[in-house]
């Protein structure tokens, strides 16, 4: 029987590429997202790669949707070997200008979505001695100005998954936190502004960023090797190192980088 992978936020970007990589790697694939039309397109492509694929519409900020996703996957395949918590949203606004509802939305999706899905999948993952993956960010290593809610949600994800790893040191559960760095995806276009509306346009040149298929390959390589953390860009590796030894200097570097972005919140 093929192993079964569940991937949240699989309708585009990194999540879509993760679905295809799971299909290529021999998994039966369960994909979820809010947009069922886009999910059906990804499902069709997974099937063309030879995988059995199930699409489940879900908003991971809703506990009941997460429960249904996990229950549907288990009823359909009888096992769960891999859960990749990829679904996420971003923001771009200084806290002084930002509605608290924006912060709540970030935490509900990025943090609580990970908690809900992991909690409900955990019994099955323990039976399979499987893997839990959190797709995080440089923002989970270093707080980013203009992304207070995003950084908070990723820091919270890191703490949750690290605690889960230590709780399961003797159970065989594998826990991976992946920090891709800036990756070409839709997350910046859909990032929330101070009032909770989509900013619609990315402040970065997406063509120069890491491509999601490269991220997906590296994530599955890390799963096979049962790595604990991966940092997939020079920027991410440098941030992780510099924050340990030169944190104050890095604060200024990060400030200047964000201040130089197109339509920076500092302007």
- What is the tens place of the pLDDT at every residue in 195-224? 566 655 545 555 566 889 999 999 999 999
CATH of residue 28: 3.40.50.720
* CA angle at 143 for the pair 141 and 147, rounded to the nearest 5°: 120
| pLDDT at residue 188 in the model | 46
- What is the tens place of the pLDDT at every residue in 78-120? 999 999 999 999 999 999 999 999 999 999 999 999 999 999 9
What integer best gives the mean pLDDT of the chain?
91
The verdict on residue 249 lying in a domain is: no
The verdict on residue 116 lying in a domain is: yes
Q: Greater confidence, 57 or 208? A: 57
% of the chain with per-residue pLDDT over 90: 76
- What is the tens place of the pLDDT at every residue in 127-178? 999 999 999 999 999 999 999 999 999 999 999 999 999 999 999 999 999 9
Report d(CA 38, CA 255) in Å as an integer: 36
What is the set of active-site residues? 150
| pLDDT at residue 191 in the model | 76
Q: Greater confidence, 94 or 235? A: 94
Beta-strand pair 82-85/131-135: parallel
The verdict on residue 250 lying in a domain is: no
The domain total for the chain is 1
| Burial of residue 21 (number of CB atoms within 10 Å: 0-12, 13-18, 19+) | buried
The verdict on residue 140 lying in a domain is: yes
| pLDDT at residue 263 in the model | 80
Across 11-25, average pLDDT: 97
| pLDDT at residue 234 in the model | 82
Report d(CA 198, CA 105) in Å as an integer: 13
| pLDDT at residue 259 in the model | 86
pTM: 0.90
The verdict on residue 26 lying in a domain is: yes
The verdict on residue 248 lying in a domain is: no
3 token code pair: 């192993």
Segments forming the whole domain that contains residue 17: 4-241
The verdict on residue 65 lying in a domain is: yes
Name the pLDDT band for 57 (thresholds 50, 70, 90): very high
The verdict on residue 139 lying in a domain is: yes
| pLDDT at residue 192 in the model | 83
3-class state of residue 183 by DSSP: strand
Report d(CA 255, CA 239) in Å as an integer: 13
pLDDT at residue 194 above 90? no
Q: What residues form DSSP beta bridges with 84?
A: 7, 133
pLDDT at residue 264 above 70? yes
């Amino acid at each position: 029987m093929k192993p079964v992978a569940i991937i949240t936020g699989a309708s585009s970007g990194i999540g879509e590429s993760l679905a295809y990589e799971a299909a290529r790697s021999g998994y039966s694939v369960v994909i979820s997202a809010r947009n069922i039309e886009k999910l059906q397109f990804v499902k069709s492509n997974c099937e063309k790669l030879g995988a059995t694929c199930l699409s489940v519409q879900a908003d991971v900020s809703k506990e009941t949707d997460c429960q249904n996703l996990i229950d549907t996957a288990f009823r359909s395949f009888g096992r769960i070997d891999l859960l990749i918590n990829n679904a996420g949203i971003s923001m771009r606004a200084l806290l002084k200008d930002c509605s608290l509802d924006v912060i709540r939305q970030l935490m509900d999706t990025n943090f609580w979505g990970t908690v809900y899905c992991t909690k409900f999948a955990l019994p099955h993952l323990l039976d399979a001695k499987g893997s839990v993956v959190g797709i995080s960010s440089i923002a989970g290593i270093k707080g980013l100005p203009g992304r207070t809610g995003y950084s908070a949600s990723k820091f919270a994800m890191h703490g949750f998954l690290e605690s889960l790893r230590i709780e399961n040191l003797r159970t065989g559960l594998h826990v991976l936190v992946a920090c891709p760095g800036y990756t070409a995806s839709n997350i910046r276009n859909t990032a929330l502004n101070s009032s909770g509306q989509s900013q619609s346009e990315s402040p970065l040149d997406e063509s120069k960023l890491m491509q999601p298929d490269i991220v997906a390959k590296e994530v599955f390589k890390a799963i096979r090797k049962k790595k604990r953390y991966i940092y997939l860009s020079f920027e991410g590796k440098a941030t992780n190192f510099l924050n340990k030894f030169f944190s104050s200097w890095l604060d200024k570097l990060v400030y200047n980088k964000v201040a130089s972005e197109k339509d920076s919140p500092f302007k």
